[in-house]
Amino acid sequence: MTSSATSTDADRPRIDVVLPVHEEAAIIEHVLDEAYAEFSRIAVPRFVVCEGGSRDGTGEVLEALRQRL
């Protein structure tokens, strides 16, 4: 068995996290950063974020996060 210190993403379990969001520009970056940090400890996370037509810049924040995460 491979230890977590030497395992690659291909060896790790995967998890999909589905989040509906609307008007979350002020907090979505913090929420996703925290969720990524927690989930990545046990698996390779993939986030599916369903943005509901926000007008507060949520889409732009999500695009920047997509590039980074």
Per-residue pLDDT of the chain (69 residues; tens, 9 = 90+): 444 455 688 899 999 999 999 999 999 999 999 999 999 999 999 999 999 899 999 999 999 999 988
pLDDT value, residue 2: 44
pLDDT value, residue 68: 87
Neighbours of 21 (CB within 10 A): 19
Tell how far CA 4 is from the center of its chain.
20
pLDDT value, residue 1: 43
CA distance 41 to 51: 26
Neighbours of 62 (CB within 10 A): 21
pLDDT value, residue 28: 97
How large is the angle between the packed helices 58-68 and 28-39, nearest 10 degrees?
A: 30
**Are the C-beta atoms of 21 and 49 separated by less than 8 Å?**
yes
